[in-house]
Structure 1
Amino acid sequence: MNTTIALTPKQRLRALAEARRGVLVPGAFNALSARVIEDLGFEAVYITGAGVTNMALGLPDQGFMGLAEMAEHTARIRDAVALPLIVDADTGFGNALNVRHTVRTLERAGADCIQFEDQLAPKRCGHFAGKDVIGIDEAVNKIKAAVDARQDANLLIMARTDACATQGFDAAVERAARFAEAGADILFVEAVTTAEQVRALPARLPKPQLINMVIGGKTPIVGADELADLGYGFVLYANAALQGALLGMQRALGELKATRRLDEGSGLVASFGERQRLVGKPALDALERRYA
């Protein structure tokens, strides 16, 4: 008799973090982008606050997206894919009590890991100028509140610090270490600016870490294999899908504007059939026949 018990998405994500093998995690900005990520064989999805803000509101990542909107996107993506979900919760949308409410809300929506950062509100993209961080004691207490608020002990809490930009690399590492002591499961030092800093982080912090490869951002791009060798748990490409989608739309619509026609064979668009496959139409057709 087969007694194997399948791991939950939260348990799978914890195992991936602890393996420290540089798991590539693309960002999703809606349910369809998450489906593409899963279809291509990636092992986890990051629900990006920047991407959701850009795509849903047409605005930059400067704190315009609220908790209710992120929870709604999380629930939709949870319904669309079975992969573990890491959810960007920005600053927790307020103080420690707001963080507690954020954890309860996003956990109900289907998050497997919730990321909090230590920026002063309103937050900014980690690779923008003009950001600042809250005091270390307040930041630590917000992580403690997040850890205490989870209903499922397997829910992971990721603690991000943006202190590198304003206080320097060593101060950012110290903050991350304090977050680990407060119970954070995964650490994220955002926007380091040199290859030496990228190489140093895994040796200086005890918990599994995520590093963010922002295409065009402040951190030098390093291959995932090298990052795995260094001991990173996750390699985040939060908005690679979004930037690829933007370029794809510009090219396809530019061709339409220039030539006044666009065909499946142009190489600029997915086929009609591929679009229906990704949104699950064959499975729904089978259900329709079953219930007819």
Structure 2
Amino acid sequence: MGQSKAARLRAALGGGDIVVAAGVYDMISARIADGMGFSALYMTGYGTVASALGIADAGLASYTEMVERVAVLAGGTATPMICDADTGYGGLLNVRRTVQGYEAAGAAGIQIEDQEMPKKCGHTLGRRVVPLEDMVLKIRVAVEARRDPATLIVARTDCRTTLGIDEALRRGEAFAKAGADVVFIESPESRAELERIGKALSGSAWLLCNMVYDGRTPETPADDLKRMGFSIAIYAGMAHKAAAGALEAAYRHLKVKRTQMDMPGPMYSSAKMHELMGFPEVWAFEKRWDQGQAG
């Protein structure tokens, strides 16, 4: 039996290069990213909630709804996947259930944040955080709850926007001491702050940076983040924003031109789409059984 996805992700983190994790939000994006050779994928809460439920990332999705998405996305891909678990969906018992459920569904890493419920998207205003002591307990429960010791516990603080970078660093240090494998300070607002995070925390845990397109954190190349001390760069919003832009352009073209000829952007051929979604395997199965070759 080969390494678990979590063990493979840990090996990638120990390989000396920064892990670039492509954001995915549905099975089409996950299948495409899975075939690109990334060391990790990242199941975005924002994009997953938007695509599956059609609602804002504002604490409205339940554990049951989200763990089902983990099972589909992580279960249907070979690349290790870090999955957004919001606040753990409640208190300490909820955190234990969330970690064990996400892990059983195929998550290689599980991200829990310190926002009050209902939580909000990490690059919007109005976020409030729980006391540090409450989050430390959640981390300790999460670490104890995992059944595979290789499963990564990613601890995120959203306090930078309201309480400042000093408090964010204090929380990051406490998260590492509580046993978090990865520390994630959400929405730092300058390269200087990114440098501070790396200098202060890179020796205590793996550090994750969220590169949100058009977000609060300045766009910084992954190689620069590596130099600063970060081990993981996630591109959580890239896929659903790229898809939204491409679809809007395609629909506008259809509305104006009344044809799908000469679309403004690339489109998959039917053959490529069939291959992505596994039709060759379906056809091979049907051919085998139609010819009575089972066994």
TM-score normalised by structure 1 residue count: 0.95
Q: Name which of 61, 68, 93 aligns with 2:64.
A: 68
Cα distance per residue 1:103-140 (max 9 Å; x no partner): 11111111111000000111011110110100010010
Matches for 1:257-268 after TM superposition, within 5 Å: 257-263=255-261, 267-268=265-266
The structure-2 alpha-carbon separation of the partners of 1:231 and 1:19, relative to structure 1 and needing over 3 Å to count, comes to farther
Cα distance per residue 1:224-246 (max 9 Å; x no partner): 11112222111110010100100
The structure-2 alpha-carbon separation of the partners of 1:37 and 1:285, relative to structure 1 and needing over 3 Å to count, comes to same
Contact 1:20 1:228 in 2 (8 A): no
1:17 CA displacement: 2.5
1:228 paired with 2:226, answer yes
Partner of 2:268: 270
1:267 CA displacement: 4.1
Q: Name which of 37, 40, 62 aligns with 1:41.
A: 37
1:45 CA displacement: 1.1
Structure 2: distance between partners of 1:265 and 1:46: 30
Cα distance per residue 1:155-185 (max 9 Å; x no partner): 1100000111111101111101111111100
Structure 2: distance between partners of 1:239 and 1:266: 22
1:165 paired with 2:161, answer yes
The structure-2 alpha-carbon separation of the partners of 1:260 and 1:189, relative to structure 1 and needing over 3 Å to count, comes to same
1:16 CA displacement: 2.1
Higher relative contact order (CA 8 A, sep 6+): 1
1:140 paired with 2:136, answer yes
> Equivalent residue of 1:79, what SS?
coil
1:245 paired with 2:243, answer yes
> Equivalent residue of 1:256, what SS?
helix
Partner of 1:116: 112
Q: Which amino acid aligns with 2:133?
A: D
1:59 CA displacement: 1.9
Contact 1:209 1:232 in 2 (8 A): yes
Partner of 1:283: 281
Matches for 1:50-199 after TM superposition, within 5 Å: 50-199=46-195
Cα distance per residue 1:60-115 (max 9 Å; x no partner): 21111111111111111133211101110000001111101111111111111100
1:18 CA displacement: 3.2
Q: Which amino acid aligns with 2:237?
A: N
The count of residues paired between Structure 1 and Structure 2 equals 288
> Equivalent residue of 2:220, what SS?
coil
Q: Name which of 196, 202, 208 aligns with 2:206.
A: 208
> Equivalent residue of 1:236, what SS?
strand
The structure-2 alpha-carbon separation of the partners of 1:265 and 1:126, relative to structure 1 and needing over 3 Å to count, comes to closer
1:218 CA displacement: 0.4
Contact 1:143 1:159 in 2 (8 A): yes
Which consecutive residues of structure 1, in runs of 5 or more, have no partner in the other structure?
A: none
Q: Name which of 23, 26, 31 aligns with 1:27.
A: 23
1:7 CA displacement: 2.4
Cα distance per residue 1:235-269 (max 9 Å; x no partner): 11001010010011111111111111103776442
Q: CA RMSD in A?
A: 1.5
Which consecutive residues of structure 2, in runs of 5 or more, have no partner in the other structure?
A: 291-295
1:30 CA displacement: 1.3
1:56 CA displacement: 1.7
Partner of 2:293: none
Structure 1: distance between partners of 2:124 and 2:263: 39
Contact 2:8 2:80 in 1 (8 A): yes
Contact 2:185 2:209 in 1 (8 A): yes
Contact 2:45 2:57 in 1 (8 A): yes
Moved over 3 A (4+): 263-268
Structure 1: distance between partners of 2:109 and 2:264: 40
Contact 2:253 2:264 in 1 (8 A): no
Structure 2: distance between partners of 1:274 and 1:190: 37
Contact 1:252 1:268 in 2 (8 A): no
